[in-house]
Chain A
């Protein structure tokens, strides 16, 4: 059904748009750019920063373009003298309460407020600074996120992100008027509240108020220390996003260049988290099958549906809000931590290195991984399994600091032993990817045949819908799995914690019928993670996702259980999935946390 059309003029150009379109959207259709700060396409309208004001002929007031729907016969000027002046004043007023310490700010160059003040050439300081000394104290309590109120312009993007997209509500608007600030419960430190460290607020903060804790200097220190053997692992989602840091299109596959850059920075070995993603599939797959066996053969009541445990933001979310469902979580560590535990045991042994002299660095699209690496139980090797976690953005910073011309690098490939991967490991970065990888392997283990989808692409689990469902029936199974003959495996996939919350409420009521659920904390999965290059929109996330699927299709090996290095690992070290060594190194426990 076509919507009612509204006719209006923007800068004297006539346009007809759907009813309910905002002036901002209509102007974009005519390629007029109206600056915005509090507005973000991923979250609801707020209309509080006022930089998007426009002039409406016949009206004395300047409406906010992001929050005003179009009306019949409207005549809008997006850049009249009055608008320009008002907009400049708005930016100057925002700057009057902003700690414009740009040269020392981690967001320098990526800050939306900085860009705007550059555009409008603000600088005559006609307003008194309202910056409060007490706000200059930065909250460094969390290993993932730092919060600096002195740089906050109170646009509330973070609050809306935390509530709407993630349903965490760790951040809120507290107090009122000139005392209004973005706060946690009772202004507690970020590490002491329900925050899942997903970093989505960082991705949407227009200034340097919310940023990741950066460990670039510590990593450089380790790299330059000749007594340390420094290995680096790269997550699936980084290889389709790091190019954005160097002006490439989102979704450009730059795996080879990234490996080359890491080697030039000086890492001793460049390895791949995709390897441990493949390993995760084997462990998690067997865990699921053992739970199904317990239910169908032994007549026990294991915790089903089983849920994936690769996303540390999701883990912490569940620990806080659904502690009664912790049993349902797979006990598998995330690929990052599996890699760390193996690097300092199996890999160190084979390379003849002392794990005490090893430093494991991971490059992740994620800020929650920083928290995960610091969890006390993540010391399976006897040492801190993963020493430092850097985001994709921080890797961009390192490459620039090292003076490497990224775009001109030749492709190089990963080092061996923990570096080989399959297409199944690559798609771990997409929502539905873990499920797709698991189904490719589980179906083949059970039936001895490939999954019945053309080109191994399990389309029903792909895409950006909030909750996806799929079912697969096992027929003509191998004799050892005959209890699964004719069984239909039902799976659910969700991404973004707000969607996860809806699904968990259903799981709690026990009426989903799912056997296996994949959950990723960030929208679109890891490719939309809190550590990915800025900006982020749905279109950008889709491009990154198709980049990963392309990478998968280009791989020769596309099923986790075919990874030769994983096979070698089981033969010579772990011996069997869910075995004694796996239990020590690759599995973990979860804690119930308070709802504060």
Chain B
């Protein structure tokens, strides 16, 4: 007769009611207090987080889902839809070059390669000092003055490689 071995597993039930909040959780809670906790409060809260943190971390998205009683996947689905809601860490200054047809025809590729040269970063990446990220954006609504480039919230229209170099130099000076 084989001997029976019984395995006992000890169970730790984690207390679901936490009594402390991280900085992000606190921030998200404040935003939810301000914007409300309905589903349509999701966008302004996500925008507020991006404004303050420059991107949506996993922790932030979990906190938003918790506050609004949504699933984390839903929050991620919304965040990933919008170019302006980043889900990966970005630099202090975010450069977005318009990639839509008009700006493309007016030479946005040259603008991008100028910035790549100047900052020594590739399109879609962030400089190693964390000062700049170089991205593309969908139509920014400035087709009549293309090509255009957006640095943070500032729009630069009818830019040329020369003008781009100057703009970037200014930002290099501003952000140490």
Q: Which residues of A contact B (CB under 8 A)?
A: 163, 168-176, 183-186, 193-194, 323-324, 326, 345, 348-349, 354-356, 376-377, 379-382, 584, 589-592, 595-596
Contact, CB under 8 Å: A185 / B16: no
Which of B3-11, B116-124, B153-161 sits within the interface?
Answer: B3-11
B152 within 8 A of A: no
In the bound complex, how far is the Cα of B7 from the Cα of A356, in angstroms?
Answer: 15
Instruction: Point out the residues of chain B lying under 8 angstroms from A326, CB to CB.
Output: 13
Which of B34-42, B70-78, B107-115, B162-170 sits within the interface?
Answer: B70-78
Instruction: Point out the residues of chain B lying under 8 angstroms from A584, CB to CB.
Output: 6
Contact, CB under 8 Å: B4 / A382: yes
14 chain-A/chain-B pairs, Cβ below 8 angstroms: A169-B71, A169-B74, A170-B73, A171-B73, A172-B73, A175-B81, A183-B77, A323-B14, A324-B16, A326-B13, A355-B4, A382-B6, A382-B7, A596-B72
Contact, CB under 8 Å: A175 / B80: yes
Instruction: Point out the residues of chain A lying under 8 angstroms from B74, CB to CB.
Output: 163, 169, 172
Contact, CB under 8 Å: B61 / A376: no
Contact, CB under 8 Å: A595 / B14: no
B10: nearest chain-A partner, CB-CB:
A589
* Residue from B2, B17, B87 whose CB has the most chain A CB atoms within 10 Å: B2
Q: How far is the CB of A386 from chain B (nearest CB, A)?
A: 15
In the bound complex, how far is the Cα of B149 from the Cα of A455, in angstroms?
Answer: 78
In the bound complex, how far is the Cα of B7 from the Cα of A345, in angstroms?
Answer: 13
In the bound complex, how far is the Cα of B1 from the Cα of A555, in angstroms?
Answer: 37
Contact, CB under 8 Å: B72 / A176: no
B residues 4-38 in Cβ contact with A at 8 Å: 4-7, 9, 11, 13-14, 16-17
B13: nearest chain-A partner, CB-CB:
A592
In the bound complex, how far is the Cα of B2 from the Cα of A173, in angstroms?
Answer: 53
Contact, CB under 8 Å: B73 / A194: yes
Using known A-B contacts A183-B76, A186-B87, A382-B6, determine if residue A168 contacts B81 with beta carbons closer than 8 Å.
no
Instruction: Point out the residues of chain B lying under 8 angstroms from A345, CB to CB.
Output: 4
> 20 more A-B contacts (CB under 8 A) besides A185-B75, A345-B4?
A170-B71, A171-B73, A174-B77, A174-B81, A183-B77, A183-B80, A185-B76, A186-B76, A193-B73, A324-B17, A355-B4, A377-B9, A379-B7, A381-B4, A584-B6, A589-B11, A591-B11, A595-B65, A595-B66, A596-B62
B58 within 8 A of A: yes
Give the secondary structure class of A's interface: loop
Contact, CB under 8 Å: B13 / A184: no
Q: How far is the CB of B9 from chain A (nearest CB, A)?
A: 5
Instruction: Point out the residues of chain A lying under 8 angstroms from B7, CB to CB.
Output: 379-380, 382
Q: What's the interface size class on B, roughly? A: 20 to 34
Contact, CB under 8 Å: B4 / A194: no
Please pick, from A169, A349, A591, the residue contacting B13 in the complex, using a CB distance under 8 A.
Answer: A591
Q: How far is the CB of B73 from chain A (nearest CB, A)?
A: 4
B residues 51-66 in Cβ contact with A at 8 Å: 58, 61-62, 65-66
**Nearest 9 A/B pairs, CB to CB:** A169-B71, A172-B77, A382-B5, A172-B73, A185-B72, A589-B11, A174-B80, A185-B73, A323-B16
In the bound complex, how far is the Cα of B80 from the Cα of A323, in angstroms?
Answer: 29
B75: nearest chain-A partner, CB-CB:
A185
In the bound complex, how far is the Cα of B42 from the Cα of A172, in angstroms?
Answer: 15
* Residue from A171, A194, A355, A595 whose CB has the most chain B CB atoms within 10 Å: A595
Q: How far is the CB of A356 from chain B (nearest CB, A)?
A: 7
In the bound complex, how far is the Cα of B59 from the Cα of A483, in angstroms?
Answer: 51
Instruction: Point out the residues of chain A lying under 8 angstroms from B13, CB to CB.
Output: 323, 326, 591-592
A357: nearest chain-B partner, CB-CB:
B2
* Residue from A169, A175, A176 whose CB has the most chain B CB atoms within 10 Å: A169
In the bound complex, how far is the Cα of B65 from the Cα of A194, in angstroms?
Answer: 13
B17: nearest chain-A partner, CB-CB:
A324
Contact, CB under 8 Å: B11 / A172: no
Contact, CB under 8 Å: B2 / A592: no
Contact, CB under 8 Å: B80 / A589: no
In the bound complex, how far is the Cα of B8 from the Cα of A584, in angstroms?
Answer: 8
In the bound complex, how far is the Cα of B5 from the Cα of A186, in angstroms?
Answer: 41
In the bound complex, how far is the Cα of B1 from the Cα of A347, in angstroms?
Answer: 12
Contact, CB under 8 Å: B16 / A172: no
A194: nearest chain-B partner, CB-CB:
B71
Q: How far is the CB of A340 from chain B (nearest CB, A)?
A: 14
Q: How far is the CB of A120 from chain B (nearest CB, A)?
A: 32
Contact, CB under 8 Å: B9 / A194: no
Contact, CB under 8 Å: A176 / B76: no
Q: How far is the CB of A507 from chain B (nearest CB, A)?
A: 15
Instruction: Point out the residues of chain B lying under 8 angstroms from A194, CB to CB.
Output: 71-73
Instruction: Point out the residues of chain A lying under 8 angstroms from B81, CB to CB.
Output: 173-176
In the bound complex, how far is the Cα of B6 from the Cα of A584, in angstroms?
Answer: 8
B79: nearest chain-A partner, CB-CB:
A174
Contact, CB under 8 Å: B76 / A349: no
Contact, CB under 8 Å: A184 / B73: yes
Contact, CB under 8 Å: B66 / A356: no
Instruction: Point out the residues of chain B lying under 8 angstroms from A175, CB to CB.
Output: 80-81
In the bound complex, how far is the Cα of B100 from the Cα of A187, in angstroms?
Answer: 27
Q: How far is the CB of B85 from chain A (nearest CB, A)?
A: 12
Instruction: Point out the residues of chain A lying under 8 angstroms from B9, CB to CB.
Output: 376-377, 589
Instruction: Point out the residues of chain A lying under 8 angstroms from B16, CB to CB.
Output: 323-324, 592
Instruction: Point out the residues of chain A lying under 8 angstroms from B76, CB to CB.
Output: 172, 174, 183, 185-186
Contact, CB under 8 Å: A380 / B6: yes
In the bound complex, how far is the Cα of B65 from the Cα of A272, in angstroms?
Answer: 43
Instruction: Point out the residues of chain A lying under 8 angstroms from B87, CB to CB.
Output: 186
Q: How far is the CB of A449 from chain B (nearest CB, A)?
A: 39
Instruction: Point out the residues of chain B lying under 8 angstroms from A168, CB to CB.
Output: 71
Contact, CB under 8 Å: B6 / A169: no
In the bound complex, how far is the Cα of B9 from the Cα of A277, in angstroms?
Answer: 25
* Residue from A174, A183, A184, A324 whose CB has the most chain B CB atoms within 10 Å: A174
Instruction: Point out the residues of chain B lying under 8 angstroms from A185, CB to CB.
Output: 61, 71-73, 75-76
Contact, CB under 8 Å: B73 / A183: yes
In the bound complex, how far is the Cα of B77 from the Cα of A293, in angstroms?
Answer: 48
Instruction: Point out the residues of chain B lying under 8 angstroms from A596, CB to CB.
Output: 62, 72
Instruction: Point out the residues of chain B lying under 8 angstroms from A381, CB to CB.
Output: 4
Instruction: Point out the residues of chain B lying under 8 angstroms from A163, CB to CB.
Output: 74
In the bound complex, how far is the Cα of B5 from the Cα of A354, in angstroms?
Answer: 13
In the bound complex, how far is the Cα of B17 from the Cα of A41, in angstroms?
Answer: 40
In the bound complex, how far is the Cα of B71 from the Cα of A173, in angstroms?
Answer: 12
Contact, CB under 8 Å: A595 / B73: no
In the bound complex, how far is the Cα of B17 from the Cα of A595, in angstroms?
Answer: 13
Instruction: Point out the residues of chain A lying under 8 angstroms from B73, CB to CB.
Output: 169-172, 183-185, 193-194
